[in-house]
Amino acid sequence: MRLGFVGGGVMGEAMLAAILDRRIAASSSIRVADTLPERRAALASRYGVTTFGDALEAAAESDILVLAVKPQSLHEVFADLRGRLNPAQLVVSIVAGTNLATLTRLLEHAAVVRVMPNTPAQIGRGMSVWTATNHVTDEQRGMVCSILEALGREMYVEDEKYVDMATAVSGSGPAYVFLLIEGLTDAAVHVGLPRPQAQELVLQTVLGSAEFALRSGKHPAELRNMVTSPGGTTAEGLYRLERGAMRALLTDAVLAAYEKARVLGG
Protein backbone atom coordinates (compact mmCIF):
# COMPACT_ATOMS: atom_id res chain seq x y z
CA MET A 1 0.00 0.00 0.00
CA ARG A 2 1.45 3.37 -1.04
CA LEU A 3 0.39 6.28 1.13
CA GLY A 4 0.60 10.05 0.90
CA PHE A 5 0.02 12.44 3.78
CA VAL A 6 -0.69 16.13 3.44
CA GLY A 7 -0.10 17.86 6.76
CA GLY A 8 0.46 16.08 10.01
CA GLY A 9 -0.57 17.47 13.32
CA VAL A 10 -1.21 15.26 16.29
CA MET A 11 -3.83 13.05 14.65
CA GLY A 12 -2.03 12.74 11.33
CA GLU A 13 1.17 11.70 13.05
CA ALA A 14 -0.76 9.24 15.23
CA MET A 15 -2.14 7.64 12.08
CA LEU A 16 1.31 7.55 10.47
CA ALA A 17 2.88 5.95 13.55
CA ALA A 18 0.11 3.34 13.83
CA ILE A 19 0.40 2.40 10.14
CA LEU A 20 4.13 1.82 10.51
CA ASP A 21 3.79 0.02 13.85
CA ARG A 22 1.21 -2.41 12.44
CA ARG A 23 3.26 -2.74 9.22
CA ILE A 24 0.31 -1.78 7.08
CA ALA A 25 2.77 0.07 4.87
CA ALA A 26 6.53 0.41 4.81
CA SER A 27 8.18 3.77 5.47
CA SER A 28 9.70 3.62 1.99
CA SER A 29 6.18 3.71 0.48
CA ILE A 30 4.99 6.75 2.45
CA ARG A 31 5.32 10.34 1.23
CA VAL A 32 4.52 13.25 3.54
CA ALA A 33 3.99 16.91 2.64
CA ASP A 34 4.36 19.69 5.19
CA THR A 35 4.98 23.38 4.69
CA LEU A 36 7.42 23.66 7.62
CA PRO A 37 11.01 22.51 6.86
CA GLU A 38 11.70 21.67 10.50
CA ARG A 39 8.56 19.54 10.63
CA ARG A 40 9.57 17.68 7.46
CA ALA A 41 13.01 17.00 8.92
CA ALA A 42 11.53 15.70 12.16
CA LEU A 43 9.12 13.33 10.40
CA ALA A 44 11.83 12.01 8.08
CA SER A 45 14.17 11.39 11.02
CA ARG A 46 11.54 9.84 13.29
CA TYR A 47 9.75 7.59 10.79
CA GLY A 48 12.04 7.23 7.79
CA VAL A 49 9.42 8.58 5.39
CA THR A 50 10.08 10.74 2.34
CA THR A 51 8.99 14.34 2.85
CA PHE A 52 8.08 17.21 0.52
CA GLY A 53 6.98 20.80 0.76
CA ASP A 54 4.34 20.31 -1.93
CA ALA A 55 1.06 18.42 -1.56
CA LEU A 56 1.05 17.17 -5.14
CA GLU A 57 4.43 15.51 -4.68
CA ALA A 58 3.11 13.64 -1.65
CA ALA A 59 0.11 12.51 -3.71
CA ALA A 60 2.24 11.22 -6.58
CA GLU A 61 1.95 7.43 -7.01
CA SER A 62 -0.05 7.09 -3.76
CA ASP A 63 -2.91 4.62 -3.52
CA ILE A 64 -4.35 6.59 -0.60
CA LEU A 65 -3.86 10.29 0.13
CA VAL A 66 -4.59 11.33 3.71
CA LEU A 67 -5.60 14.95 4.28
CA ALA A 68 -4.57 15.82 7.83
CA VAL A 69 -4.29 19.59 7.56
CA LYS A 70 -5.91 22.24 9.74
CA PRO A 71 -9.25 23.51 8.33
CA GLN A 72 -7.79 26.97 7.71
CA SER A 73 -5.12 25.45 5.44
CA LEU A 74 -7.53 23.34 3.42
CA HIS A 75 -8.24 25.83 0.62
CA GLU A 76 -4.52 26.12 -0.12
CA VAL A 77 -4.35 22.31 -0.37
CA PHE A 78 -7.44 22.29 -2.61
CA ALA A 79 -5.73 24.76 -4.93
CA ASP A 80 -2.67 22.50 -5.20
CA LEU A 81 -4.60 19.28 -5.78
CA ARG A 82 -7.77 20.34 -7.60
CA GLY A 83 -8.33 18.22 -10.69
CA ARG A 84 -4.82 16.77 -10.54
CA LEU A 85 -5.40 13.49 -8.71
CA ASN A 86 -5.61 10.14 -10.44
CA PRO A 87 -9.26 8.95 -10.46
CA ALA A 88 -8.10 5.63 -8.96
CA GLN A 89 -6.60 7.34 -5.95
CA LEU A 90 -8.52 7.40 -2.68
CA VAL A 91 -8.61 10.57 -0.59
CA VAL A 92 -9.10 10.08 3.16
CA SER A 93 -9.90 13.27 5.05
CA ILE A 94 -9.57 13.63 8.80
CA VAL A 95 -10.13 17.39 8.56
CA ALA A 96 -12.72 18.43 11.13
CA GLY A 97 -15.93 20.00 9.87
CA THR A 98 -15.42 19.45 6.12
CA ASN A 99 -18.11 17.33 4.49
CA LEU A 100 -17.92 15.02 1.49
CA ALA A 101 -19.71 17.43 -0.83
CA THR A 102 -17.12 20.13 -0.15
CA LEU A 103 -14.21 17.74 -0.48
CA THR A 104 -15.35 16.22 -3.76
CA ARG A 105 -16.32 19.56 -5.28
CA LEU A 106 -13.17 21.49 -4.41
CA LEU A 107 -10.81 18.60 -5.16
CA GLU A 108 -12.73 17.67 -8.33
CA HIS A 109 -12.27 14.08 -7.21
CA ALA A 110 -14.94 11.43 -6.60
CA ALA A 111 -13.35 8.72 -4.42
CA VAL A 112 -13.32 10.32 -0.97
CA VAL A 113 -13.64 9.03 2.59
CA ARG A 114 -14.39 11.26 5.58
CA VAL A 115 -13.20 10.11 8.99
CA MET A 116 -13.86 11.46 12.49
CA PRO A 117 -11.16 10.00 14.76
CA ASN A 118 -10.56 11.02 18.37
CA THR A 119 -7.51 11.68 20.52
CA PRO A 120 -7.19 8.21 22.17
CA ALA A 121 -6.14 7.06 18.68
CA GLN A 122 -2.71 8.31 19.71
CA ILE A 123 -2.35 5.24 21.94
CA GLY A 124 -4.29 2.82 19.73
CA ARG A 125 -7.49 3.12 21.78
CA GLY A 126 -9.39 5.54 19.58
CA MET A 127 -12.86 5.49 18.04
CA SER A 128 -13.06 6.42 14.35
CA VAL A 129 -16.40 6.96 12.61
CA TRP A 130 -16.28 7.17 8.83
CA THR A 131 -18.29 7.31 5.64
CA ALA A 132 -17.49 7.23 1.93
CA THR A 133 -18.76 8.33 -1.46
CA ASN A 134 -20.24 5.76 -3.81
CA HIS A 135 -17.06 5.88 -5.91
CA VAL A 136 -14.99 4.20 -3.18
CA THR A 137 -14.45 0.53 -4.05
CA ASP A 138 -14.78 -2.43 -1.71
CA GLU A 139 -11.03 -2.92 -1.88
CA GLN A 140 -10.45 0.70 -0.86
CA ARG A 141 -12.93 0.37 2.00
CA GLY A 142 -10.95 -2.63 3.21
CA MET A 143 -7.75 -0.59 3.19
CA VAL A 144 -9.44 2.16 5.18
CA CYS A 145 -10.64 -0.38 7.75
CA SER A 146 -7.08 -1.70 8.15
CA ILE A 147 -5.74 1.79 8.78
CA LEU A 148 -8.47 2.79 11.23
CA GLU A 149 -8.27 -0.49 13.16
CA ALA A 150 -4.62 0.38 13.83
CA LEU A 151 -5.93 3.43 15.70
CA GLY A 152 -8.46 1.49 17.80
CA ARG A 153 -12.06 0.71 16.85
CA GLU A 154 -13.79 1.85 13.66
CA MET A 155 -17.43 2.31 12.73
CA TYR A 156 -18.74 2.81 9.18
CA VAL A 157 -21.96 4.80 8.71
CA GLU A 158 -23.96 5.05 5.49
CA ASP A 159 -25.36 8.51 6.19
CA GLU A 160 -22.85 11.34 6.64
CA LYS A 161 -25.06 13.06 9.22
CA TYR A 162 -23.91 10.42 11.70
CA VAL A 163 -20.30 11.59 11.32
CA ASP A 164 -21.35 15.03 12.58
CA MET A 165 -23.21 13.36 15.44
CA ALA A 166 -20.13 11.30 16.24
CA THR A 167 -18.08 14.49 16.23
CA ALA A 168 -20.22 15.75 19.11
CA VAL A 169 -19.97 12.46 21.03
CA SER A 170 -16.72 10.59 20.39
CA GLY A 171 -14.81 13.47 18.82
CA SER A 172 -15.52 15.96 21.61
CA GLY A 173 -16.20 13.22 24.17
CA PRO A 174 -12.63 12.89 25.47
CA ALA A 175 -12.79 16.54 26.57
CA TYR A 176 -15.95 15.79 28.57
CA VAL A 177 -14.23 12.80 30.17
CA PHE A 178 -11.11 14.85 30.95
CA LEU A 179 -13.33 17.47 32.62
CA LEU A 180 -14.95 14.72 34.69
CA ILE A 181 -11.51 13.42 35.67
CA GLU A 182 -10.39 16.91 36.62
CA GLY A 183 -13.55 17.56 38.63
CA LEU A 184 -13.43 14.24 40.49
CA THR A 185 -9.76 14.75 41.29
CA ASP A 186 -10.40 18.24 42.66
CA ALA A 187 -13.31 16.89 44.72
CA ALA A 188 -11.11 14.13 46.15
CA VAL A 189 -8.51 16.73 47.14
CA HIS A 190 -11.29 18.81 48.69
CA VAL A 191 -12.27 15.97 51.03
CA GLY A 192 -8.63 15.47 52.06
CA LEU A 193 -6.83 13.11 49.67
CA PRO A 194 -3.35 14.16 48.52
CA ARG A 195 -3.49 15.15 44.82
CA PRO A 196 -1.19 12.38 43.46
CA GLN A 197 -3.26 9.67 45.17
CA ALA A 198 -6.50 11.38 44.16
CA GLN A 199 -5.50 11.48 40.51
CA GLU A 200 -4.41 7.83 40.49
CA LEU A 201 -7.69 6.77 42.12
CA VAL A 202 -9.78 8.73 39.62
CA LEU A 203 -7.88 7.65 36.51
CA GLN A 204 -8.03 3.96 37.40
CA THR A 205 -11.70 4.26 38.37
CA VAL A 206 -12.61 5.81 35.01
CA LEU A 207 -10.45 3.36 33.07
CA GLY A 208 -11.74 0.32 34.93
CA SER A 209 -15.38 1.42 34.74
CA ALA A 210 -15.20 1.91 30.96
CA GLU A 211 -13.48 -1.43 30.45
CA PHE A 212 -15.98 -3.18 32.72
CA ALA A 213 -18.92 -1.64 30.83
CA LEU A 214 -17.40 -2.67 27.50
CA ARG A 215 -16.75 -6.26 28.54
CA SER A 216 -19.93 -6.85 30.53
CA GLY A 217 -22.33 -5.95 27.73
CA LYS A 218 -24.77 -4.73 30.37
CA HIS A 219 -26.78 -1.51 30.16
CA PRO A 220 -25.08 1.34 32.07
CA ALA A 221 -28.15 1.68 34.27
CA GLU A 222 -27.79 -1.95 35.35
CA LEU A 223 -24.12 -1.42 36.14
CA ARG A 224 -24.94 1.73 38.10
CA ASN A 225 -27.55 -0.12 40.13
CA MET A 226 -24.96 -2.79 40.98
CA VAL A 227 -22.88 -0.10 42.70
CA THR A 228 -25.77 1.71 44.36
CA SER A 229 -27.00 0.35 47.71
CA PRO A 230 -30.31 1.75 49.01
CA GLY A 231 -29.63 4.63 51.38
CA GLY A 232 -25.88 4.32 50.86
CA THR A 233 -23.06 6.70 50.00
CA THR A 234 -23.32 6.18 46.24
CA ALA A 235 -27.08 6.78 46.29
CA GLU A 236 -26.50 10.09 48.08
CA GLY A 237 -23.84 11.17 45.60
CA LEU A 238 -25.99 10.23 42.60
CA TYR A 239 -28.93 12.13 44.07
CA ARG A 240 -26.83 15.31 44.17
CA LEU A 241 -25.69 14.80 40.56
CA GLU A 242 -29.24 14.24 39.36
CA ARG A 243 -30.46 17.27 41.33
CA GLY A 244 -27.79 19.29 39.54
CA ALA A 245 -29.17 18.13 36.15
CA MET A 246 -25.97 16.37 35.08
CA ARG A 247 -27.77 14.41 32.33
CA ALA A 248 -29.40 17.52 30.94
CA LEU A 249 -26.07 19.35 30.89
CA LEU A 250 -24.43 16.50 28.98
CA THR A 251 -27.28 16.52 26.46
CA ASP A 252 -26.93 20.28 26.07
CA ALA A 253 -23.20 19.91 25.49
CA VAL A 254 -23.62 17.23 22.82
CA LEU A 255 -26.39 19.19 21.06
CA ALA A 256 -24.26 22.35 21.04
CA ALA A 257 -21.25 20.49 19.65
CA TYR A 258 -23.43 18.82 16.99
CA GLU A 259 -24.89 22.15 15.84
CA LYS A 260 -21.38 23.61 15.68
CA ALA A 261 -20.20 20.65 13.60
CA ARG A 262 -23.06 21.23 11.15
CA VAL A 263 -22.19 24.91 10.83
CA LEU A 264 -18.51 24.18 10.25
CA GLY A 265 -19.41 21.52 7.68
CA GLY A 266 -21.39 24.00 5.65
pLDDT, tens only, 158-217: 999 999 999 999 999 999 999 999 999 999 999 999 999 999 999 999 999 999 999 999
The answer to whether the CB of 117 falls within 8 A of the CB of 167 is: no
Query: What's the pLDDT score for residue 159?
Result: 94
Average pLDDT of the segment spanning 9-27: 90
Bigger pLDDT: 264 vs 3? 3
Mean pLDDT, the chain, rounded, equals 93
pLDDT tens-digit readout, 212-255:
999 999 999 999 999 999 999 999 999 999 999 999 999 999 99
Model pLDDT, residue 261: 83
In the chain, which ranges are E strands?
Answer: 3-6, 30-33, 50-52, 64-67, 90-93, 112-116, 126-132, 152-156
Mean pLDDT of 61-88: 90
* pLDDT, mean of residues 50-74: 90
pLDDT of residue 115: 96
Per-residue confidence (pLDDT) for residue 266, from 0 to 100: 62
Tell me the pTM. Answer: 0.88
Q: Please calculate the CA angle 140-159-220 and round it to the nearest 5 degrees.
A: 105
Closest by CA to 69, choosing from 3, 5, 133, 163, is: 5
Spatial strand order in the sheet of 126-132: 50-52, 30-33, 3-6, 64-67, 90-93, 112-116, 126-132, 152-156
List domains and CATH numbers for the chain. Answer: 3-158 (3.40.50.720), 173-264 (1.10.3730.10)
**Which pLDDT score is estimated for 265?**
67
pLDDT score recorded for residue 186: 98
| pLDDT value, residue 236 | 96
- Name which of 59-73, 120-134, 161-175 the model is least confident about: 59-73
What pLDDT score does 165 carry?
A: 93
Q: What is the mean pLDDT of residues 86-110?
A: 93
